[in-house]
Amino acid sequence: MYAVRNASLGKKNNQPKFACHKACVQNNLIGLVMNDFSTRLRINIILIIYLLIPFSLFSQNKEAEEILNKRGEICISFESDKNEINYFSEIISIDKYSDNQVIGYANKVEFKNFLATKKDYSIIERNYSSKSLNVATNIEEMENWDKYPSYEIYVEMMQKFANNFPAICKLDTIGYSVENRLLLAVKISDNVTEDEIEPEVFLSGQMHGDELVGGIVLLKLIGCLLNEYETNQQIYNLINNLQIYINPLANPDGTYFGGNDNVSESTRYNKNNKDLNRNFPRIDGIATYIEPEIQAMINYAENHKFVLSLNTHSGAEVVNYPWDFFSHLPADNDWWNFVSRQYATTVHNNSINNYLTYLDNGITNGYQWYSITGSRQDYMNYFKNCREVTLELSDTKLLPSEEINNYFNYNKNALLNYISQANYGLRGIITDSLTNEPIKAKVLILNHDKDNSHVFSFQNTGEYYRFLYTGNYFVNFSAEGYQAKTIKVNINNFETQIFDIQLVDCDTCHETNNIPNSEINNINIFPNPTNDLINIKSEENIQEIEIFNNLGQKIDTFFPNNTEFLINIQKYLSNFIIINIKINGKFTVRKIVIK
């Protein structure tokens, strides 16, 4: 909730909910004019009005200065049409845009830059009852989920989750905030100490410290997953088939700006007065100083293989999908619409009327709402090739603590369904066709992908995951030093298609001499190139010969058990073949060029 105080420096604000001090003065003076129509009095009134303007300007800026000195940030409202909203997005941190009305935050530098635009504005002060924002003083008081945890209780709860469920829950440290508060996450999986070949999902909340709803919802989700593991079939399947990471509190310094046992004074920005959700590396390449909390988050993403993620916020009630930066729709817009609509519809079936119905009945493309740069959503999608959505869970940021359970119940099933999406789509393992070792390869949907919407397989495991909306697709697999391969796949929503791919090493393709995997001496293969027969001679018996085509597919196998063997290559419809020869338990590989 907000109380709004006008600080307009020019024209009157047309919004009736904004009180305008200057307008009141003008109305009073006009009343005097009605009682005396002398020219002299009229002139004096006009002079008085103009004399009041600079005094009002000084007074309003003084109030803003006091707020900034105390909190490091100020919340303002102003009018802006769609054509100029992106301009202001580069100056301040826009929080909400609706019906040409902007609510935004600014630190001292940002506010100074905003004043330079000469834009009329109103100062917004939060109106809340501190009685509603109850904070637990011990962990037992969190059992009913009708209080917010103090910082110490939050840390204790995260540790207790891991202690109480050691088989499926592990506590992890992402890093530290500016004031050295912990950035914590729990990992939830059936083999929690192992890095399995399973999709990794990442959920985080409260990147804006005063948006309390998302953090507490994710904290309760952790408890729900752990406590219902053996009784809820959907949760059982999720934990057994995924690796789920949850970070409820990404900006502890902002949340506990008023002290470790106080969330009522929480701020949007971090201790350095920076909006963390505008601080990730920008798609346009403009450099910015990365805050400690964000650098820790970047490092964490680098050390994991997240394929699906979400970031919770509040101040609105809508599912916001990529992009925030690009004006055009994403390559996977159909999939994003499908997933976002599923989330909103599930919420509608489990909540009160008119909840999560903002904009397009609860969903929006980020840029179509308003553009921002440096968001976590864009970073994860563009730079990490992960699919991330932003959830705006409540119009009220400082939600009264007795409503926590309601908002969790509204979103519980939708959150579980969103996490379940990690189990669908196209997936498999990409390996070297000869060594069977995993490869980091690019997985590209032909005539579809753009703006880094492709994905990569992971270096250590070769596993890849590509979420796609129902349809037929041509999928290209490529890696440096390997022959590319393209396959056609048919994808249906809520289904999984598994394609394990083997790529042929181009070092093998381009070399016509012996490329040994191990030491084999005195073997001769001729002629090469050829269009007819090849003759293989060795001093020892040849145990096995495998033939691979230029796509890395095995197309023939022979067991000569002799020192010489002829192969007719005319039946192999390819411009070259790879032969893998086994002699006395050792292997050698050759490329045979077909003329």
| 426-503 and 506-593, same CATH topology | yes
Q: What is the pLDDT of residue 127?
A: 54
- C-alpha Rg value of the chain to the nearest Å: 31
Residue 23's pLDDT is: 37
User: How confident is the model over 27-60, as pLDDT tens digits?
Assistant: 343 343 344 444 444 444 444 443 444 444 456 6
| Fold exhibited by the domain 144-423 | Aminopeptidase (3.40.630)
Instruction: Give the start-to-end residue ranges of the domains of the chain.
Output: 2-126, 144-423, 426-503, 506-593
Residue 531, pLDDT score: 81
Correct CATH for 506-593 of 2.60.40.3080, 3.10.450.240, 3.40.50.300, 3.30.70.1350:
2.60.40.3080
* Residues 184 and 158 sit within 8 Å (Cβ to Cβ): yes
C-beta neighbour count of 150 within 10 angstroms: 22
Q: What's the one-letter identity of residue 139?
A: I
Residues 6 or more apart whose Cβ sits within 8 Å of residue 249: 154, 183, 184, 205, 206, 215, 219, 255
Q: Which residue ranges in the chain fall short of pLDDT 50? A: 1-57, 128-129, 510-519
Query: Can you give the pLDDT at residue 551?
Result: 66
Which are the contacts of 318, defined by CB distance < 8 A and separation ≥ 6? 356, 358, 359, 362, 363, 364, 369, 392
pLDDT digits (tens, 9 = 90+) for 243-270: 999 999 999 999 999 999 999 999 999 9
Regarding the domain with residue range 426-503, which homologous superfamily does it belong to in the CATH classification?
Answer: Carboxypeptidase-like, regulatory domain (2.60.40.1120)
